[in-house]
Structure 1
Amino acid sequence: MNFTEKYGKELRDFTERLLTFETTSGNEKEAQEWLSDRLNELGFEVYTWTADADKLAESPTFPNAEAIDVDERPSVAGVLEFGDPEAGPTIILNGHIDVVPVEESAWETDPFEPTWDDDSLTARGAVDMKSNLAACIFAAKYTHEVENDLDGRVVVESVVGEEEGGIGAVAAALSNPYPFKRDAAIITEPTELDVVTAVEGSVMMNLEIEGRSAHAATRWEGESVLPHFERIRTAFRELEADRNKRVTHSLYESFPISWPVNFGAVNAGSWASSVPAHLSSEIRIGVAPGETNDEVETEFRDKLNTVVTKSDWLSEHLPTFERRAIQFEPAEIDADERIVTALQTAMRNRGLNDTEPRGATYGADSRHYIAVGIPTVLFGAGSIKQAHFPNETIEWPDVLTATGVLADATVEFLSADGDES
């Protein structure tokens, strides 16, 4: 009996139920308790952990412990052991349970009521990443039932707070919640069934500019912040263009902008009849694998200083340029790591012949595991183009393919010639 015959309907039902939980930031507990019960019913040994804010603050991701919400936010894992678990390696299959908020007016369906259109499944989290989390669980369960000659362990993790920098994953990386070591991990981001070995970092900054207010009828008496902001924005875009020529990486050559700078939020002024005297902007700055966030921040600070020195007003009213609470560090592993080659073999077994490693322009929890020496790769069904979007949709045949690949990759990694323990 193949996977679809044995677990296809159960995987589908499980995914549908998981998608009904509105697991936005801080609201993951009910879903995690349900998931813990289901893992126990499926025969997993269940572990739970809750992050410690002070411990998280030791990570560069979270420079401000007071800003980290960890209360009532458990991460959950299920462990299955094969043969002599101490004689073989341990592989982690990881997904995050949290989802981004929705603007329901932009949706054609209820975002937390899974909707099918033939093989297309629409719901918040369908792509990012509850379908893939469910795939991890049933890939592990199926492998455990059909493989009798392996040693080692498979761990399925459901972590919280990925969208906030990786709260559950950082806690697991810094303070191993298991009484055994971990040898490698696959994180099931929606990679379109590609293998991703590098993720981009990002420096999250807040820019503040002060002007001088005046009545709109005599606006020449004031000092608008808008021209100053436009000069800074233009200078940052020039640096973006320069960096995209100067900073190169073989896995990022296909992107039109490899290290993008985005002014994601801009707030200025108070009302139409006053000269805008204050501006704040939240800025995301891309960081290439091999760079550090500190190095890139310094480049942009230097560019800002260049703009400031050319302006009498800004020289006397210095803008502030400070990091926001969450940072994303770049990360990369070698293409010849055992977890990568095991995944590539599994992909070919399932008819996915393009197994060339890719780079991703987004951040992921892989960076936390790589930072503590656990080789970690990304692989999953669905496209990042659907993530965070209204009417988020995944194709179910791709989920089944991903489940098969995860099962085969587990077997390949746990096989005798792949023992890294």
Structure 2
Amino acid sequence: MTFATAWDEQLRSFVDDLCRFETTPGDEAPAQKWLREFLEQAGFETYTWEANPERLADHPSFPDDPSAIETANRPSVAGVLEFGDPDAGRTLVLNGHVDVVPADSGWTGEPFEPRWRDGTLTARGATDMKSGLAAAIFAARHLVASDPHFDGRLVVESVVGEEEGGIGAAAAALENPYPFERDAAIVAEPTDCRPVIATEGSLMKRLCIEGRSAHAATRWHGESVLPHFERIRQAFSDLESERGERVEHPLYKAFPIPWPVCFGRLEAGRWASSVPDELTAEVRIGVAPGETVDEVEREFDERLASVVAADPFLGANPPAFERFSIQFEPAEIDPDEPVVKAVQSAMTAAGLSDTAPRGATYGADSRHYVHAGIPAVLFGPGEIQQAHFPDESIEWEAVLAAGELLAAAARTYLED
């Protein structure tokens, strides 16, 4: 029996219910309680854990101050299925995150009231990544229903705080919540059902420039921060271009800007009738697989220093340029890892020809497992362009296809 024939109706109901939970950061607990109860009723042995903020504060992804990391009442949940003699076989994790980014004002309907139309689901989290999480859960159920005869263990995780650096996954990687080891993971992020084996890192920095205020009618007596900011922004844009040519990676040749620099937030001035004398800008800087956040930070610090050295005012009033928020280290695994081969085998068996591993210009929870020595590949339904987008949507056929492929990949991996 095909996955769609066996599970379409139940999976559709499950995703609809899950998308109705407003699981924005810090509000995941009700959904996780509901999900744990579902897993228990479906025959999974369940585990729950909360992250230790002091342990995360020692991790390079997170702020150094434990009080700045919100972990209380944010449980991550997992369900475990065992086959034959589980300790004699492999253990595979199917991972997904339940948290979503807040909905913005661009929605044409209520973000947490799922809408179904012409085979498409629209809801916050439909693509990123509740449908992928659901496909993983039902793929595990499909594997059990197929009466498997092999040794091994399958773990399905619903973690919290991915959008804040991977709170639940980092905790699981740092302090194993299970009484067994894990051999590999598939993270069901929206990759359009293509295997992603390399994820980009990111450096988050805050730039603060101080000028000198003056009345707009005599603005020549002031020192506007805007021209100084523009020189810095242009210098960073030039460095972005230089790095795009100098830092090469075979999986990123198709991207027009492989290591993007984005000034995502800018605030300047106090009043329309005054020369703007202060500016705060927040920038996200891409880090290539094979690089470290520290190395890339030094490049941009040095480029800023060169701008400051060439500007007498900035030389006398140097801007601050400091890290903030979450840092993402890049991650990469070998394309010959058995878990990658298992995914490719499932794709080939389903008649899909484009099985080549890819890279992604975003970060994901996979990096936490990779850095802990657990090979992890991204593979799930939906397109990343829909993530964090108004009227976020996913084609339902893609979710059903992902469930079939995840089940087949899990079987192949556990049987080998």
Residue 23 of structure 1 aligns to a residue in which SS? coil
Give distance in 2, aligned partners of 1:281 and 1:151. 54
**Match of 2:193?**
193
For 1:22-421, what aligned pairs fall within 5 Å after superposition?
A: 22-64=22-64, 65-103=66-104, 105-415=105-415, 418=416
Deviates further, 227-236 or 140-149: 140-149
Partners of 2:262 and 2:284 within 8 A in 1: yes
Amino acid across the alignment from 1:21 = F
SS at match of 2:79: strand
C-alpha displacement of 1:349: 1.5
Q: Is the 8 A contact 1:193 1:382 kept in 2?
A: yes
TM-fit CA distance, 1:147 = 3.2
Partner Cα distance (1:306, 1:377) in 2: 40
Residues 127 and 387 of structure 1 are in contact (CA less than 8 Å); yes or no, is this contact kept in structure 2? yes
Q: How many Å separate the matches in 2 of 1:2 and 1:172? A: 33
- Residue identity opposite 1:181 in structure 2: E
Give distance in 1, aligned partners of 2:6 and 2:362.
35
The answer to whether the Cα contact below 8 Å between 2:63 and 2:69 also exists between their aligned partners in 1 is: no
More deviation, 140-149/167-176: 140-149
Question: For residues 353 and 188 of structure 1, what CA distance do their matches in structure 2 show?
Answer: 20
Equivalent pair of 2:2/2:404 in contact (CA under 8 Å)? no
Amino acid paired to 1:405: L
CA contact (8 A) 2:126 2:392 kept: yes
In structure 2, C-alpha distance between the alignment counterparts of 1:148 and 1:235, rounded to whole Å: 58
Instruction: State the 1:108 CA deviation.
Output: 1.4
In structure 2, distance between residues paired with 1:294 and 1:45? 41
Identity of aligned residues (%): 61
Amino acid in the other structure paired with 2:304:
L
Unaligned runs of at least 5 residues, structure 1: none
- Distance in 2, matches of 1:203 and 1:260, equals 11
Moved more, 278-287 or 140-149: 140-149
1:24 Cα deviation from its structure 2 partner: 0.4
Structure 1 distance, partners of 2:204, 2:349, is 40
Which whole-Å CA distance do the structure 2 matches of 1:254 and 1:60 have between them? 29
Query: How far has the Cα of 1:69 moved from its partner?
Result: 0.6
> Would the aligned equivalents of 2:212 and 2:223 in 1 still touch at CA under 8 Å?
yes
Q: Distance in 2 between matches of 1:147 and 1:222?
A: 77
C-alpha separation between the residues in 2 aligned to 1:3 and 1:242? Answer: 48
Residues in 1 aligned to 2:23 and 2:181: alpha-carbon distance in whole angstroms = 29
Secondary structure of the corresponding residue to residue 385 of structure 1:
helix
Deviates more, 1:57-66 or 1:209-218: 57-66
For the Cα contact (< 8 Å) 1:115–1:121, is it kept in 2? yes
Q: Give how far 1:140 is off.
A: 0.4
Secondary structure of the corresponding residue to residue 386 of structure 2: coil
Q: Provide the C-alpha distance between the structure 2 equivalents of 1:405 and 1:57, rounded to a whole number of angstroms.
A: 37
> Which deviates further from its counterpart, 142-151 or 116-125?
142-151
* AA in 1 matched with 2:363: G
* 1:148 to partner: Cα distance: 2.8
* Greater mean alpha carbon deviation, residues 57-66 or residues 137-146: 57-66
The offset of 1:6, in angstroms, is 2.0
Q: Secondary structure at the match of 1:213?
A: coil
Shift of 1:348: 1.2
Residue 97 of structure 2 aligns to which amino acid in structure 1? H
| CA–CA distance in structure 2, aligned partners of residues 359 and 94 of structure 1 | 19
Q: Deviations over 1:129-176 (max 9, x none)?
A: 000100000000110121331111000000000000000000000000
* TM-score normalized with structure 1 length: 0.98
Q: Is the 8 Å Cα contact of residues 67 and 325 (structure 1) preserved in structure 2?
A: no
Alpha-carbon offset, residue 312 of structure 1: 1.0
For 2:38 and 2:8, the matched residues in 1 are separated by 16
Q: Matches of 1:263 and 1:244 in 2, distance apart?
A: 17
Q: Is the 8 A contact 1:46 1:77 kept in 2?
A: yes
- Unaligned runs of 5+ residues in structure 2 are none
Kindly provide the amino acid, as one letter, of the partner of residue 72 in structure 1: N
Query: What is the total number of aligned residue pairs between the two structures?
Result: 415
Which amino acid counterpart does residue 362 of structure 2 have in structure 1? Y
**C-alpha contact 1:84 1:151 (8 A) present in aligned 2:** yes
Amino acid in the other structure paired with 1:11? L
After the TM superposition, list the runs of 4 or more consecutive aligned residues in structure 1 that deviate by more than 6 angstroms: none
Q: Is the Cα–Cα contact under 8 Å of residues 331 and 367 in structure 2 kept in the other structure? A: yes
- Give me the CA root mean square deviation: 0.8
Distance 1:292 1:301 in 2: 14
3-state SS of paired residue (1:106): coil
Distance 1:147 1:390 in 2: 42
TM-score norm. by structure 2 comes to 0.99
Measure how far apart 1:109 and its partner are.
1.8
Q: Quick one: distance in 2 between partners of 1:165 and 1:228?
A: 32
AA aligned to 2:82 is: E
For residues 261 and 152 of structure 2, the distance between their equivalents in structure 1, rounded to whole angstroms, comes to 43
